[in-house]
Amino acid sequence: MRVLVANRGEIAVRIIRACRDLGFESVALYTDADAGAPWVRLADAAVGLGAPKAYLDRDAVLAAAEGCDAIHPGYGFHAENAAFARACEEAGLRFIGPKPEHIELMGDKAAARAAAARAGVPVVPGSEGAVASADEAVAAAAGSYPVAIKAAAGGGGRGIRIAHDEAGLRSAFAAAAREAGGAFGDERLYVERFVERARHIEVQVFGDVALGERECSLQRRRQKVVEEAPAPTYDAAALCAAAAELARSIGYRGAGTLEFLVDDATGEFFFIEMNTRIQVEHPVTELVWGVDLVAAQLSGTLPECAPRGCALELRLTAEDPERKFMPSPGTVTDVRWPAGPWVRVDTWLEPGVEVPPFYDSLLGKLIVWGPDRATCLARARRALRELRVEGVATTAPLLARLLDEDWFVRGDFHTTTLEEWLG
């Protein structure tokens, strides 16, 4: 099989390596900003697209797939675009992901909530579907505040506003609609109860098989910073069973992630959304379950597997924590990645590469495994001490400080803890 890797950066490297393991040929994409990038050299062939934004050009990507049998979209770009998935199928290409109708269903957050409710999976109380006006939003809130108003077609934390009273909800409605329209081309919104001290716990599924949970509560501006599996101090058995039931109820195919909020005070869990793709944090599940999820996507088969121990992922980004997380593009002059038993690095970074200003700032992911959480944390601290990146500022010093915080060691945190800690 010949696979076009319709992505860049560390996920492109990850997919190309999985293709090589399976004996498949891979074709990489690159733009002018990524010419000479490591994933281009790793692949069996490569196609240039031109301008930096060309990764988003559906026609150009499909044209680059000439002679291929399949397209793997990775995450971002076209990964959750039902029209792109259908275009692949119409072109005789296998889209390595779920069915287009599942991308559409779960990409509409209001429709996804309804599907979860039909499957008997708890959802955060709120509007039955999208609300068309501020008056409808107020009616859906039913006087119970605070509430969150969210983009129906949203994701990644965009298009969300928190309102603590009716006036705040009316004020937030127009701003949230504008942001949703700009980010997703869809201004529809829905309203739900805002859980003030919540944990963000997600479940990896493959088809209707749940491969355990991941703790993803440590976030900055609703972007994940550290993930781990399993979730500390929380028994997620019922939550994982609910995720599997929802996937089964819609006949889901391949890899996906169902995300939940857990009320810290009561332990209640609520479904919030499903990502119909491989996730950035999939390696923690791979290390705990001893499975290659990308290879499973490519082959269409999940091997038998069982959980063991704990894993932690630290996202290294080209941002400067000392300068309010300003982006730090530039030339990487030197890199030293950690190694040793049970230390994994997923990255595209090497000395001499240029970190362009056009894309996500993720440089790589440091993933460690241990038989228990204490061993895992000790290994992560050691690995960070070995890490060196010169030429661009990174979040490595922040991650090192974070691992030593008492509340982190105890596993006592929720979705706003990191921002509170950062001040």
Q: Contact at 8 Å (CB) between 54 and 31?
A: yes
Distance CA 204, CA 283 (A): 11
pLDDT tens sequence across 68-119: 999 999 999 999 999 999 999 999 999 999 999 999 999 998 899 899 999 9
**Do 165 and 206 belong together in one domain?**
no
CB proximity list for 406: less than 8 A, separation 6 or greater: none
Residues with catalytic function: 277
Pairwise CA distance, residues 306 & 104, whole Å: 31
| 15-30 average pLDDT score | 98
How confident is the model at residue 109, as a pLDDT?
A: 84
- Residue 413 falls within a domain, yes or no? yes
pLDDT digits (tens, 9 = 90+) for 144-168: 899 999 988 876 667 689 999 999 9
Please tell me whether residues 180 and 50 are part of one structural domain.
no
Percent of the chain with pLDDT over 70: 99
Rounded to two decimals, the pTM is 0.91
Query: What pLDDT, on a 0 to 100 scale, did the predictor assign at position 195?
Result: 87
Same domain, 150 and 289: no
Domain boundary among 150, 172, 193: 193
The tokens 């287009």 sit on which residue? 100
Say whether both 87 and 156 belong to one domain.
no
* Within-domain flag for 78: yes
* pLDDT band at 181; cut points 50, 70, 90: confident
Dmax (CA) for the chain in angstroms is 60
Whether 58 is in a domain gets the answer yes
Would you say residue 374 lies in a domain?
yes
- For residues 180-206, one letter each, b for 16 or more C-beta atoms within 10 angstroms of the residue's C-beta and e for the rest, the string is beeebebbbbbbbbbbeebbbbbbbbb
End-of-domain residue from the set 155, 176, 193: 193
Residue showing tokens 């300068």: 323
Q: Which residues on adjacent β-strands are paired with residue 341?
A: none
Q: Among residues 156, 172, 193, which one ends one of the domains?
A: 193
Claim to verify: residue 139 and residue 251 sit in the same structural domain: no
Give the chain's mean pLDDT.
Answer: 95
267-313 pLDDT, tens digit per residue, is 999 999 999 999 999 999 999 999 999 999 999 999 999 999 999 99
pLDDT tops 70 at residue 183: yes
Residue 60's domain is classified under what CATH number? 3.40.50.20
pLDDT value at residue 252 = 98
Candidate from 88-97, 131-140, 340-349 with smallest mean pLDDT: 131-140
Q: Considering only residues 190 and 371, tell me which one the structure prediction assigns the higher pLDDT.
A: 371
108 within some domain: no
Edge-first strand order for the sheet with 147-151 is 161-163, 147-151, 189-193
Is the same domain home to 25 and 142?
Answer: no
Report pLDDT for 265: 85
CATH number at residue 131: 3.30.1490.20
In this prediction, residue 174 carries a pLDDT of 87
Instruction: Give residue 155's pLDDT.
Output: 65
CATH number at 240 reads 3.30.470.20
pLDDT at 268: 93
Q: Could you tell me if 172 and 51 lie in one domain?
A: no
Residues 84 and 132 in one domain: no
Tell whether 54 is covered by a domain.
yes
Looking at the fold, whether 255 and 297 belong to one and the same domain comes out as yes
Question: Are residue 87 and residue 164 in the same domain, yes or no?
Answer: no
**Alpha-carbon span 201 to 236, nearest angstrom:** 9
Give me the pLDDT at residue 62, please: 98
Q: Identify the pLDDT of residue 9.
A: 97
Q: Is residue 116 part of a domain?
A: no
The pLDDT of residue 20 is above 80: yes
Q: Which of residues 221 and 407 earns the better pLDDT score?
A: 407
Average pLDDT over residues 324-337: 96
Domain of 158, in residue numbers = 125-193
Give me the number of domains the chain comprises.
Answer: 3
What string of H, E and C letters represents the secondary structure of the chain? Answer: CEEEECCCHHHHHHHHHHHHHHCCEEEEEECHHHCCCHHHHHCCEEEECCCHHHHHCHHHHHHHCCCCCEEECCCCCCCCCHHHHHHHHHCCCEECCCCHHHHHHHHCHHHHHHHHHHCCCCECCECCCCECCHHHHHHHHCCCCCEEEEECCCCCCCCCEEECCHHHHHHHHHHHHHHHHHHHCCCCEEEEECCCCEEEEEEEEECCEEEEEEEEEEEECCEEEEEEECCCCCCCHHHHHHHHHHHHHHCCCCEEEEEEEEECCCCCEEEEEEECCCCCCHHHHHHHHCCCHHHHHHHCCCCCCCCCCEEEEEEEECEEHHHCCEECCEECCEEECCCCCCEEEEECCCCCCEECCCCCCEEEEEEEEECCHHHHHHHHHHHHHHCEEECCCCCHHHHHHHHCCHHHHHCCCCCCHHHHHHC
Task: Please state, in angstroms and rounded to a whole number, the distance separating the CA atoms of residues 169 and 194.
Answer: 12
- 364 and 240 in a common domain: yes
**From CA 229, how far away is CA 305, in angstroms rounded?**
15
**Residue 231 in this model has a pLDDT that exceeds 70:** yes
Q: pLDDT tens digits for 212-224?
A: 999 999 999 989 9
Q: Is the pLDDT of residue 128 over 90?
A: no
Co-location of 203 and 189 in the same domain = no
For residue 114, tell me if it sits in a domain.
no
